[in-house]
A = this chain, B = another copy of it.
Amino acid sequence: MDKRMNGEKKNENFQNLQKALTENSFEGHFCSLYVFYTIMGNKWTLMIMGSLINGTKRNSDLQREVEGISPKMLNQTLKLLIKHKMVDKKVYPEVPPKVEYWLTEFGKSTADPLMALLNWTVEWQDELKEFH
């Protein structure tokens, strides 16, 4: 997909968004978008979900795979994701403790907007490169 290919297709979404934002109440939509940001807009959320996307993981797996995260931030972010029903967990009554985390269907559903985001970052990588 090349952004120079056809301006008509490009402006379709723009007009859709324009329409959505003016026809329906502004607040409702922004509110929902903010929910997305509240959940997904934290420093570690994407990385954790990026790890969970490959299947069920233990706390220690995530600790290893999500580079640079501290135990506190890992638990804090997992807690938030569980609260928002993006992630589920199961505690095995063992010692030492064993806990498994995985994405719910709702969690997996974020792949749709995230994929669109990813496509956008690919399409506009030249413009985005500057800010890396």
Question: Which residues of A are interface residues toward B (Cβ below 8 A)?
Answer: 3, 10-11, 13-14, 16-18, 20-22, 26, 29-39, 41, 46-47, 50, 53-54, 84-85, 106, 108-125, 127-128, 131-132
A12 and B26 CA atoms in complex are apart in Å by 31
A85: B residues at CB distance < 8 A:
127
User: Quick one: closest B residue to A112, CB to CB?
Assistant: B13
Interface of chain A, main secondary structure:
helix
**Most chain B beta-carbon contacts within 10 A, residue among A21, A22, A30, A39:** A21
In angstroms, how far is the closest chain B Cβ from the Cβ of A93?
30
Given A17-B53, A35-B132, verify A106-B118 contact (CB < 8 Å).
no
Are A120 and B115 neighbours in the complex by a CB distance under 8 Å? no
Given A16-B115, A38-B131, A127-B85, verify A32-B121 contact (CB < 8 Å).
yes
